[in-house]
Amino acid sequence: MSSIIQARFGEDAYPIGRFVLDRAKALEFGRTDLVRRFGYSDLNSGQRALTEFLMTGVVPLFFEKKLAEALEMDQDFLDTVLLATARQLHDEARAQILAREDAYRSTFRPHLQVQTERRIPSPIFIAALLTTKRLRIVQLPDEAISGDEDTQDRLIRATIIEHYRERAGHVPAFGRITGYVLVLLLGYDSVDFGLPFNVMGEQAGAMQKVKRLPEATLGRKRGDTRLTGLLKNTPITVIRSGHDD
């Protein structure tokens, strides 16, 4: 039997992690003992899975099926621990959304969102290096927001026409520009509201729902954003060709 398990940094953040650690100590189990009880023959892989499970509170299906038996615990009680963990994870996710909303709200101002033929960029690394926001968001002059109605209409139209000409009707990685949306009203949780315009700067419909643009990321693995935005300050050059690659 290996040495009795001890909590590492962050492994006791969730009810299920605290329970597993406490129960393993009571049974005088070490990490290797637990991994073997979960059915892993590759101990290194099992150790990594155990650490991730304890730190994130997310129970792999492979673990969940054997958890009660491995810890010599009644399944009904274990279910209450898993439910408490699920509630904490849910509350943390909502808290992250609220924090993002507060940050977005503090910097929001009306802007143009460029509509393109492709929703998902291809190649995606172009959008990740330059950032989707820079490629598909057009900021408006102050007068287009605070001026009288005639001034607003004139500046919005001029901004759309100028952007379309400068980009030769295309956005790198997203393809042909199909229109614009003037995002006017702050919404919530990835949705705002705005007015559609065609590429000539003419209003093309009534107020509609506008999905906020997700940012493309670039890294060696999921969640790794170290390379994202690497070229965000590089001038965008559009090369006109017979077709969009």
pLDDT at 166 exceeding the cut of 70: yes
Whole-model pTM: value is 0.71
Nearest to 156 by CA among 143, 166, 168, 169: 143
Per residue in 18-35, pLDDT tens? 999 999 999 999 989 888
CA distances from 184 to 19, 159, 193 (A): 49, 15, 6
Distance from C-alpha of 100 to C-alpha of 98, rounded to nearest angstrom: 5
Per residue in 114-131, pLDDT tens? 999 999 998 888 888 889
**Cβ(170)–Cβ(238) under 8 Å?**
yes
**Cβ(113)–Cβ(136) under 8 Å?**
yes
**Cβ(196)–Cβ(180) under 8 Å?**
yes
User: Any bridge partners for residue 104, and if so which?
Assistant: none
Which amino acid, residue 241?
Answer: S
**238 or 54: which carries more pLDDT confidence?**
54
Per residue in 62-94, pLDDT tens? 777 888 998 999 999 999 999 999 999 999 999
Copy the structure tokens of residue 9.
Answer: 């940094």
Eight-state DSSP code of residue 172: T
What are the extents of the domains in the chain?
15-102, 109-211
For 59, the 3-state DSSP assignment is coil
Contacts 24+ apart (CB under 8 A), 152-156: 156/112, 156/182, 156/197, 156/201
pLDDT at 113 exceeding the cut of 70: yes
Percent of the chain exceeding pLDDT 70 equals: 87
Nearest to 207 by CA among 195, 219, 198: 195
Per residue in 127-143, pLDDT tens? 888 899 999 999 999 99
Give the number of other Cβ atoms within 10 Å of residue 54's Cβ: 23
Which pLDDT belongs to residue 235?
59
**202: phi then psi, degrees, rounded to nearest 5:** -100, 135
Per residue in 184-210, pLDDT tens? 999 998 999 999 999 999 999 999 999
